[in-house]
Chains A and B, each alone.
Chain A
């Protein structure tokens, strides 16, 4: 069974631009979560989607948004990029949502660099 895939793997943008990252979960998984990983803050939760609905959102500004499609694929968008948005963005999928009972499996991440 194929794992979680993320595209693109690397991105270089300049301040003020916007970016869209994509995540395809493991086949059959319906929950997708996004995390931002930086050297200083570690992994921080961005948001989670299940059945095309956002189920939870972390403490990030409104410039960070996401969505999920009917095939469970998810995208996240960051508008008006800032230098501090440079990070590894990780997507994780799990079979379902509901109280934290499911193991999450991570994709390889998208390395975003903002110049």
Chain B
């Protein structure tokens, strides 16, 4: 059965700290791994990763995929209170002509001033 596991489940840090969020997966016919940020309602897209070892970066956020060890990390440097959110990891698969995503349960990040 396909599985996506995120850790930690929750995390409390202070502004300025650096955090690393983890996502491991066990899926057949892996295609891509996506990260989303969910603050109140709509998850907003952060990154899509398809190739191992290539870091994607956007401002203070960066992410990398390891297809051999089947995991990805999301790094946030110099955290701000606005980074407080649930961070979701999802995996898509080849085949079946579908965009279905398999989600992890998320990591709840709280950044304290």
A interface residues, Cβ below 8 angstroms from B:
3-4, 31, 33, 35, 41-45, 48, 50, 55-56, 58, 88, 90, 92, 94, 97-109
Contacts and interface: CB of A to CB of B under 8 A. Distances in A.
Contacts of A41: 105
Contacts, number: 83
Nearest to B30: A100
Interface string B34-63: 101000011111001000000000000000
A42 B106 CA distance: 7
Interface in B82-113: 88, 90, 92-106
Interface of chain B: mostly helix, strand, loop or mixed: strand
B31 interface: yes
A56 B93 CA distance: 13
Nearest to B106: A42
Contacts of A103: 34, 45, 48
A102 B99 contact: yes
7 contacts: A4-B42, A90-B43, A92-B99, A100-B32, A100-B92, A107-B42, A109-B41
A35 B5 CA distance: 18
Nearest to A9: B41
